[in-house]
Structure 1
Amino acid sequence: MQTTNVREELCKYARKIVAKGMVVGPGGNISARDGDTMLVSPSGFALEEIEPEQWVAVSIQDGTIDAPPGLRASSEVLMHLYGYQVNPSIGAMVHTHPAYSIAFGLIGEDLPIMFPDQAALTGKTGFIPYVIPTTELLAHAVKEKINTYTTLLLGNHGLVTVGRNLREAYYRTEVVEESARIYLLAKAAGTPKVLTEQELEDIRALETEAYRIKLLQQQK
């Protein structure tokens, strides 16, 4: 995909994130791979305000930043950069502050798998206890788990998801947030019923789920 299209896709999903209430104000940051470069949101911007030419280019190999005049890369640039460096299959990373995901992270670490979309699209979600945001400590903590999980809850902070493209990373964000919401609602009423390992395997083996995942990996 050429740079112009990547920038337009970033704007599209940035606005989706805001429209879904996954961030408030200038919170959150997203990025996408463009060859040997990652394009990341500029610091201090509300995601819906970013124009195509304002995404900041960063060399994946050495971290060299090429920012438009007067702009700087997101304060979480290292978290994104380390992810691309350690896992070449990552095509996009989405970091948001969804309310239910944050709420779940305040009371638990292991988000159970409860329904088919969660089983097929995200699988088990990893957890990172609170680390000071924007620091290299957080970037390293994400780096250590990003080869194992496609979704990571950050304790007292938010959610990180990755995908082979922005579409996949974005929909994983939606699924984790919905999972956290369902869990909290069910927990308030009783004991949530989680899927067994056999039930998870049965879902993953469905041809229809494989087809849906294939579609998600096609950028739209």
Structure 2
Amino acid sequence: MMKNYITKEVLPFEGERRDLANVAREMFNRKMTNVAGGNISVKVTPDENFSYDEVIYEKGHDYLLMTPTFMSEAWYAKLNPSQILVIDLKNGKKLSGEGRLTREINMHEEAYKANPKIHVVYHSHALNCMFWATLGQDMPNLTEVTSVNVPLGKIKCLPYRTACTKELADLVYEELIKLGDKSEQNIFLLNSHGVLITDTDLHSATEVLETVEWNADIAYKQAIFKKLGIIENYQSCGNSLTI
């Protein structure tokens, strides 16, 4: 039986691609990453069949919308919707978009494989988070928003693996599997490399990134006060934390 495909005159997933481009630009301007890079992907699943530019998009099939490589270096995250790539999640093939696919696609693919409920994977080089990541040390979770309002639990630093390698992608997959349902909203520090957020919503992921970045700065300053003897332990929500 022949399927009925609807031909759309706009870009495939244009609204979602425009939103992702806007988020990438805004977060770059807010210094949530640097010109060394970072990348964001969003999983989308059409609720109807459609075709565009001789490509058929299947109802119920998973696709990734992803920022192109050199998002920060070449364009300072000033992206158009047409520069957001559309990737077939099943085979990793680029179907639409101007630009090349980042080599870190393997880390994104493994994250989605770990939990089908994950709809966003966000990798960033946020400055204060990088302080803890370069230490190879878990970040103390101190602020009310990260420990209560958006309960992230332990902000864990993963062991070092070289960027873009299968070893890093495999490690991310294994650690997300260990988290189970908690992997639906989580942030890892990537040793010497940055952060990796998994979430069910793009704008929720940006909230995680910015609030954890604030937490990282506060934890850094408390670490100095602790070392100087001004405070005995880290302070959070009216409690003294021994870390």
TM-score w.r.t. the length of structure 1 is 0.81
Aligned to 1:207: none
Aligned to 2:193: 157
Aligned to 1:99: 127
**Gaps spanning 5+ residues in structure 2: where?**
1-11, 46-61, 227-232
Return closer, same or farther for 1:20/1:30 CA change in 2, 3 Å cut-off.
Answer: same
1:54 aligns with 2:83: yes
Contact 1:126/1:145, CA 8 A, preserved across alignment: no
Percent of aligned positions that are identical: 25
Return closer, same or farther for 1:63/1:141 CA change in 2, 3 Å cut-off.
Answer: same
Give the alignment of 1:1-220 within 5 angstroms: 3-35=13-45, 36-46=62-72, 48-68=77-97, 71-119=99-147, 120-121=149-150, 122-147=152-177, 148=179, 149=183, 150-190=186-226, 191-194=233-236
In 2: Cα distance, 1:26 partner to 1:42 partner:
13
- More off after superposition, 96-105 vs 48-57: 48-57
Aligned to 1:206: none
**Residue 193 of structure 1: CA displacement?**
2.2
Bigger share in helix: 1
User: Amino acid of the residue matched to residue 114 of structure 1?
Assistant: L
**Residue 108 of structure 1: CA displacement?**
4.9
**Residue 30 of structure 1: CA displacement?**
0.5
Select the structure of larger CA radius of gyration.
2
User: Amino acid of the residue matched to residue 116 of structure 1?
Assistant: E
**Residue 26 of structure 1: CA displacement?**
4.9
TM-score w.r.t. the length of structure 2 is 0.74
Return closer, same or farther for 1:123/1:9 CA change in 2, 3 Å cut-off.
Answer: farther
In 1: Cα distance, 2:138 partner to 2:71 partner:
32
4+ long deviations beyond 3 Å: 194-197
User: Amino acid of the residue matched to residue 131 of structure 1?
Assistant: R
In 2: Cα distance, 1:188 partner to 1:18 partner:
28
Could you say what the CA RMSD is over the residues aligned between the two structures, in angstroms?
A: 2.2
Bigger share in strand: 2
User: Amino acid of the residue matched to residue 195 of structure 2?
Assistant: L
**Gaps spanning 5+ residues in structure 1: where?**
200-220
Contact 1:57/1:65, CA 8 A, preserved across alignment: yes
In 1: Cα distance, 2:105 partner to 2:238 partner:
38
